Amino acid sequence: MSGDLRAIKSAVVKVTDRCNQNCAFCLDKGVTPAMHMSVEEINALLDRLKLDCDQLIFMGGETLIIPDFERVIRHAKEIGYRAVGIATNGTLLSRKGYLDRLLEAGLDYLEFSLIHHDAEKVSKLTGKTFTFARQLEALEQLNARKLADNFFVLFNVVMNALNREDLLSVCRWVNETFPSFPRRFNFKSMVLRGSALKNDWVRTPFSGIRLDVFPYLEGAGIPFWTENMPLCVAPGFEWHSLNATTRVMDRRYKDINLESPQEYYDTGFHDTGKVQPSACEKCTLRAICLGVELGYIQKYGIKEFKASRTDPEDVVRKILDASGGAPEEAATVHDGLLRFFRLPPYEESDRLYLYFRKGSHRRVTLMVAPNGEESRPTLRTGAHQIVFLGDGGPERQPHEDEIELMKLLGRSIGFLDRHHPEEVLQWCRDLKKQFEDGTLFPGNWVLLPESRHMRYY
For residue 457, the model assigns a pLDDT of 28
Q: Examine the domain organization and report whether 42 and 132 are in the same domain.
A: yes
Judge whether 326 lies within some domain: no
Calculate mean pLDDT across residues 102-131. 97
Question: Which of 272, 306, 322 corresponds to the end of one domain?
Answer: 272
Convert 205-243 to b/e letters by CB count within 10 Å (16 or more is b): bbeebebebbebbeeeeebbbbbbbbbbbbeebbbbbbb
Judge whether 421 lies within some domain: yes
pLDDT at 79 over 80: yes
Give the CATH number, domain containing residue 147. 3.20.20.70
Q: Examine the domain organization and report whether 20 and 112 are in the same domain.
A: yes
Q: Examine the domain organization and report whether 240 and 374 are in the same domain.
A: no
Judge whether 317 lies within some domain: no
Answer for the pair 274, 229: CB distance below 8 angstroms, yes or no.
Answer: no
Q: Examine the domain organization and report whether 266 and 359 are in the same domain.
A: no
For residue 362, the model assigns a pLDDT of 76
Question: Which of 272, 293, 315 corresponds to the end of one domain?
Answer: 272
Residue 428 or 135, more confident = 135
What is the 3-class SS of 399-442, one letter each residue? CHHHHHHHHHHHHHHHHHHHHCHHHHHHHHHHHHHHCCCCCEEC
For residue 270, the model assigns a pLDDT of 55
* Percentage with pLDDT > 90 across the chain: 61
Q: Which domain holds residue 70?
A: 9-272
361-415: per-residue pLDDT in tens?
677 889 999 998 888 899 999 999 999 987 655 567 888 999 999 999 999 999 9
For residue 66, the model assigns a pLDDT of 97
Calculate mean pLDDT across residues 257-273. 51
For residue 392, the model assigns a pLDDT of 55
Answer for the pair 299, 276: CB distance below 8 angstroms, yes or no.
Answer: no
Q: Examine the domain organization and report whether 268 and 356 are in the same domain.
A: no
Judge whether 454 lies within some domain: no
208-241: per-residue pLDDT in tens?
999 999 999 999 999 999 999 999 999 999 999 9
For residue 1, the model assigns a pLDDT of 28
For residue 60, the model assigns a pLDDT of 92
| All residues at 6 or more sequence positions from 31 whose CB lies less than 8 Å from its CB, including other chains | 193, 194, 360
Q: Examine the domain organization and report whether 268 and 360 are in the same domain.
A: no
Q: Examine the domain organization and report whether 66 and 193 are in the same domain.
A: yes
With residue 71 as reference, give the H or E element that holds it: helix 70-78
Cis omega (within 30 of 0) for bond into 345: yes
For residue 39, the model assigns a pLDDT of 97
Q: Examine the domain organization and report whether 222 and 367 are in the same domain.
A: no
Judge whether 123 lies within some domain: yes
What is the tally of structural domains in the chain?
A: 2
pTM, two decimal places: 0.84
284-337: per-residue pLDDT in tens?
999 999 888 878 888 898 899 999 999 999 999 999 999 989 999 999 999 999
Judge whether 406 lies within some domain: yes
2-37: per-residue pLDDT in tens?
333 344 577 888 999 999 999 999 988 887 778 899
* Percentage with pLDDT > 70 across the chain: 90
Question: Which of 237, 272, 307 corresponds to the end of one domain?
Answer: 272
Judge whether 290 lies within some domain: no
Q: Examine the domain organization and report whether 31 and 147 are in the same domain.
A: yes
